[in-house]
């Protein structure tokens, strides 16, 4: 029995649309900058996680998203069993759309500047090594958590409603066995630190707390971010991985400082 012509036409249209989008995505990944490839990869993985969260494994009630997060997020129980790839893969997982958008925006703004000046290889080196350093810093921090309980009273100044919104004090309640880390923030902070080291006097326009417009020198923004990160870790203690931000940012700054001292730029590289 032949299928109606209208169904055949709809099928051909869908196939044509799929082919067009496939070739556009292929072109983006093959010919775009390294920065945009990282962004595209993070977006695709986030969409996969959303889809996986809607599918359960048999009758267990456990979603495929939970399995993927356990295998590819950074967590000590599996890392200690040989899941070493987690030090890289956790950078490409995000917990929410806002988390993803903030990280990708910073990656595009600062990563593109580094890639234009120093090349794709340098950008990837900073982003990936910064992510690994941030992951190791976070692991060291959660090992120290049992010895940091004396910091808990420092959140008493926060009103109860605001404390609930900020999840104040929750950062000290984790444990190596039950904590996971996800997000590109460590790699992004490495890009920020490297940018600040290479361009300390560049003027940057920012919206502080997304409200207050500021015009700052790059080096001033560096000290502001450092102060806010440390203050959040001490006086708010939310589940945000401030230790990963710090370690990633420090490594990025060191890489940028060493590159600035060497005088190396993309234009100075020899042509072979």
Question: What is the chain's pLDDT, residue by residue, as a tens digit (272 residues)?
Answer: 444 555 446 556 666 666 666 555 555 454 458 999 999 999 999 999 999 988 888 777 788 899 999 999 999 999 999 999 999 999 999 999 999 999 999 999 999 999 999 999 999 999 999 999 999 999 999 988 888 888 888 888 888 888 888 888 888 887 888 889 999 999 999 999 999 999 999 988 777 666 677 788 888 888 988 998 999 998 888 888 999 999 999 999 999 999 998 876 654 544 44
Tell me, yes or no, whether 166 lies in a domain: yes
What whole-number distance in Å separates Cα of residue 210 and Cα of residue 137?
A: 28
Angle among Cα 152, 158, 160 to the nearest 5 degrees reads: 100
Tell me, yes or no, whether 20 lies in a domain: no
Tell me, yes or no, whether 250 lies in a domain: yes
Number of domains in the chain: 1
Tell me, yes or no, whether 13 lies in a domain: no
- And the tokens for 4? 């109606």
Tell me, yes or no, whether 42 lies in a domain: yes
**The whole model's pTM is what?**
0.83
What whole-number distance in Å separates Cα of residue 243 and Cα of residue 185?
A: 11
Tell me, yes or no, whether 6 lies in a domain: no
Residue range of the domain that includes 149: 26-268
Given a contact cutoff of 8 angstroms between Cβ atoms, the answer to whether 73 and 86 are in contact is yes
Given a contact cutoff of 8 angstroms between Cβ atoms, the answer to whether 214 and 208 are in contact is yes
* Residue 48: CATH number of its domain: 1.20.1540.10
Q: What are phi and psi of 204, to 5 degrees?
A: -130, 135
Tell me, yes or no, whether 212 lies in a domain: yes
What whole-number distance in Å separates Cα of residue 159 and Cα of residue 243?
A: 25
Tell me, yes or no, whether 17 lies in a domain: no
For residue 245, the tally of other CB atoms under 10 A from its CB is 29
Containing 58, the helix (H) or strand (E) segment is: none
Q: What are phi and psi of 262, to 5 degrees?
A: -75, -15
């Amino acid at each position: 029995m032949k299928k109606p012509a209208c169904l055949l036409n709809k099928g051909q249209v869908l196939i044509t649309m799929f082919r067009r989008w496939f070739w556009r995505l292929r072109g983006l990944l093959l010919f775009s900058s390294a920065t945009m490839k990282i962004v595209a990869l993070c977006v695709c993985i986030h969409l996969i996680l959303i889809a996986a969260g809607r599918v359960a494994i048999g009758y267990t009630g456990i979603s495929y998203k939970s399995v993927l997060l356990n295998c590819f997020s950074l967590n000590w129980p599996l890392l200690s069993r040989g899941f070493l790839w987690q030090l890289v893969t956790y950078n490409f997982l995000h917990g929410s759309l806002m988390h993803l958008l903030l990280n990708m925006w910073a990656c595009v703004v600062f990563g593109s500047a580094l890639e234009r000046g120093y090349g794709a290889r340098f950008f990837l080196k900073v982003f990936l090594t910064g992510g690994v350093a941030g992951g190791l810093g976070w692991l060291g921090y959660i090992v120290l958590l049992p010895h940091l309980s004396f910091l808990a009273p420092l959140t008493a100044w926060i009103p109860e409603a605001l404390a609930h919104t900020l999840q104040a004090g929750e950062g000290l309640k984790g444990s190596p066995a039950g904590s996971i880390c996800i997000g590109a923030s460590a790699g992004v902070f490495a890009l920020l630190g490297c940018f600040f080291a290479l361009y300390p006097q560049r003027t940057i326009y920012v919206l502080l707390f997304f409200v207050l417009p500021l015009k700052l020198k790059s080096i001033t923004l560096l000290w502001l971010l450092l102060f806010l990160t440390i203050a959040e870790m001490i006086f708010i203690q939310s589940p945000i991985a401030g230790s990963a931000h710090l370690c990633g940012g420090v490594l990025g700054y060191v890489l940028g400082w060493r590159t600035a001292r060497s005088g190396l730029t993309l234009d100075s590289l020899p042509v072979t």
